[in-house]
Chain A
Amino acid sequence: MNSSLFLSQLLNGLQLGVLLFLLSSGLTLIFGIMNFINLAHGSLYMVGAFIGAATYNASGSFLFSVAAAMASAAIVGALIEHLVARPLYRYDHLYQVLATFGLMMFFNELAIVIWGNRPYFVEIPQFIRGAVTIFGAPYPVYRLLIIAIGIVVAFGAWFLIQRTRFGMLTRAGATSSAMVSVLGVNIDLLKKALFMLGAALSGLAGTLAGPILSVQSGMGDPVLILALVVIVVGGIGSIRGALFAAIVIAIIDTLGRAYLPFLLGLVLPPSAANTTGNAVASMLIYILMAFVLAFRPHGIMVSAKR
């Protein structure tokens, strides 16, 4: 256990946190403001990954592929909002879960129909390939880029939510969407714009994750679970909470996986430490979620009264 390893593990955590933040910021806004549970959010991430990979393979331009991924995810998001979410806003969560779970399966099979069931090839662009030495250990350049993009998006989101009229309405909508509507704001349009924004960010997360992960049907399902944990911990409807929770969860998860077996090894025999360490490490974020739910049921970033 040395400091350079520890610092690269922190970077690993930060990078995972950034991806989680991109994914969960949209989810938390949609849940918080429209009171709509969108299980198909992971599918938007998959759409971003597939479109990003396909356009990059066809055009060779990284920037174009990122733009195309975000745009197509936003369009699919708008379609979902219009066709599925809107009629269900006033219904119970159960109906929303059923409908969006169906969408999730629909998109997974659609991806197989379009791209086949073999995982899809995607490569990191030449200029951001390779590793740089940082804190005395090699670290992939591409992951540093993900962190940088995440910081930019987080700052952009902060500016949008805290400093613009759109953001003001969003915050107001999160507190009481009915009241905002009564005051003469077109809440439907606001909802649609938010849905598309969330979808675009999810698509961005997907296309950034493409070269690291396997691009294939169903790739959005496991990350959706993590995103749900993030929004529960961060507080539903809070972008700031999502950012904070995403980073905390990712760092806890990463450091837990990296060090828990070692730390337990100090008190337990090695084989037992290894098995329990890994098992406990994979439970850490859920334990955290349980604590948050027990002591701050509205999330760590949201005041107790809503």
Chain B
Amino acid sequence: MKKVTSAVFLAGSVLAAASAHADVTVGFSGVMSGPAAVLGQDQHDGFMLAIEQLGGKFGDQKVNVVSEDDQLKPDVGAQIMQKFIERDKVDAIVGLGFSNVLMAELRRVKESGVPALATNAGPAPVAGKLCSKNLFGLAWQNDTMSEAMGQYVQDLGLKSAYLMAPSYQAGKDKLGGFKRYYKGKIVKEVYTPLGQLDYSAEISNLQAAKPDALFVFYPGGLGINFVRQLGQAGLMGHLPFFSEGAIDSNTLVALKTQAAGSIYGATWSPVLDNAQNKKFVKAFQEKYGHTPSEYAANAYDAAYLLDAAVRKVKGNVSDRAAFVAAVKEAGSTFPTVRGKFAFNTNNMPIQNVYAFKAVKEGDQIAVKKLATVFTDHQDAYVSKCDLK
């Protein structure tokens, strides 16, 4: 099942031959098979699209991309890092997979000293104690969107909230993030087994509890199950519904108007109004035939960030420390689809977090921006990181 795609972008053979520098080699890793493959594929698509737009070059360096499928397995992820570093001798790493995979990759990434951009995960330890100079969170710290939802429900003045999430580390972190900013009454916190498909029992209990607001974290397919069942029970549109993970550009394809009325927290959406985002969304739709997701946006940003950093070091990526410093500096200057971005001292994002709403437009579903919940938001773990 291991899929190795390798793409070499030629920027005109004459030019390449005349170039004195070696090429820039980037290792891309993410989940590209199995049920979660869509997330890795989106990142790959977004990253490759940006490189294509940049003419196959970062600065004036030709880019080689080596892609690997981590199969959502931590041990495979760790092996991929070893391969990237020892055999492919990569100059930068992009992707790095889900939180559990990233944690397994952490040691090798740290030791290598090459800049690594996580476009999918931002687990708390990496933002805090285990932060490292060359590892950058380009997506989000994992709690970010739930914190925004907590603040937003608080801002709306809703008196009580009912919380639900799958019973695993991320589920607990997300509800923790919500509670960090929501000061109202928590009616109940429900953790469902990770593999659970049918939520009818929980939804009946929820109906009986009559809270003012419902907040859930159900990623991907779990979210589709939950939102469908919530709608079928007649709750959608009657109970203010806030979520993270359940609604994104990918699940909207499957939910369409079933999602209408749900509010979700995110750091990016196709409707964000800035020139880079318009360029991205338009080009992505033309090339791949569907709306890009948050994950594609993160990886698209990664390519433009690397481009800016390579320019800063004038193509000399072999000086790892200088390259890493350039990536960090470029974080606040590169053109981002999010409008505004910077790296914090712990190399996690400082970015705006928004509340979006899925609304019906004829037969189709569209996304509307409700509010900028946080401006230049920092994560809660930055003080635990020793980096300056």
Binding site for B on A (CB under 8 A): 2, 5, 8-9, 12-13, 15-16, 105, 108-109, 112, 116-124, 129-131, 137-140, 142-143, 211-219, 222-223, 225, 254-255, 257-258, 274-275, 278-279, 282
Contacts and interface: CB of A to CB of B under 8 A. Distances in A.
A214 B222 contact: yes
Contact of A219 (B221, B234, B290): B221
Given A16-B200, A213-B225, A214-B222, A278 B192 contact: yes
11 contacts: A119-B221, A119-B250, A137-B207, A140-B234, A213-B221, A215-B254, A216-B254, A219-B35, A225-B195, A258-B201, A282-B196
Contact of A143 (B201, B208, B232): B232
Given A116-B38, A129-B232, A212-B232, 17 more contacts: A5-B208, A8-B204, A15-B200, A117-B37, A118-B290, A119-B224, A119-B250, A120-B254, A131-B234, A137-B204, A143-B200, A218-B35, A222-B195, A222-B197, A223-B197, A257-B201, A278-B191
Contacts of A140: 232-234
Interface in B164-218: 167, 188-193, 195-198, 200-202, 204-205, 207-208
Contacts of A109: 1, 33
B302 to A, nearest CB: 21
B191 A218 contact: no
Nearest to B33: A109
Contacts of A219: 35, 221
Contact of A108 (B34, B202, B232, B250): B34
Considering the complex of A and B, which 4 residue pairs feature the smallest CB-CB distances, nearest first? Answer: A214-B224, A214-B221, A119-B254, A12-B200
Contacts of B232: 124, 129, 131, 140, 142-143, 211-212
Contacts of B200: 12, 15-16, 143, 254
Interface in B217-236: 220-225, 228-229, 232-234
B193 A212 contact: no
Contact of B256 (A117, A121, A275): A121
A158 to B, nearest CB: 25
B387 interface: no
A155 to B, nearest CB: 24
Contacts of A138: 207, 233-234
Given A108-B34, A112-B37, A218-B35, A211 B228 contact: yes
Contact of A213 (B41, B197, B201, B251): B197
B2 to A, nearest CB: 13
Contacts of B205: 5, 258
Nearest to A255: B201
Contact residue range for chain B? 35 or more
Interface of B: 1, 33-35, 37-38, 41, 167, 188-193, 195-198, 200-202, 204-205, 207-208, 220-225, 228-229, 232-234, 250-251, 253-256, 258, 290
Given A118-B38, A118-B254, A143-B232, A214 B207 contact: no
A16 B204 contact: no
A122 B221 CA distance: 13
Nearest to B41: A117
B35 A118 contact: no
With a 10 A CB-CB cut-off, give which of A12, A124, A214, A278 has the most chain B CB atoms. A214
A219 B207 CA distance: 27
A170 to B, nearest CB: 30
A58 to B, nearest CB: 16
Nearest to A137: B207
Given A109-B1, A121-B254, A254 B233 contact: no
Nearest to A225: B195
B201 A254 contact: yes
Contacts of B204: 5, 8-9, 12, 137, 258
A269 to B, nearest CB: 14
A2 B35 CA distance: 39
Given A119-B221, A140-B234, A282-B193, A217 B201 contact: no
Contacts of B198: 12, 16, 212-213
A116 B198 CA distance: 24
B143 to A, nearest CB: 20
Contacts of A274: 188-191
A131 B189 contact: no
Given A108-B35, A140-B234, A118 B201 contact: no
Contact of A117 (B38, B191, B234, B258): B38
A215 B35 CA distance: 11
A217 B254 CA distance: 13
A294 B202 CA distance: 31
A143 B228 CA distance: 12
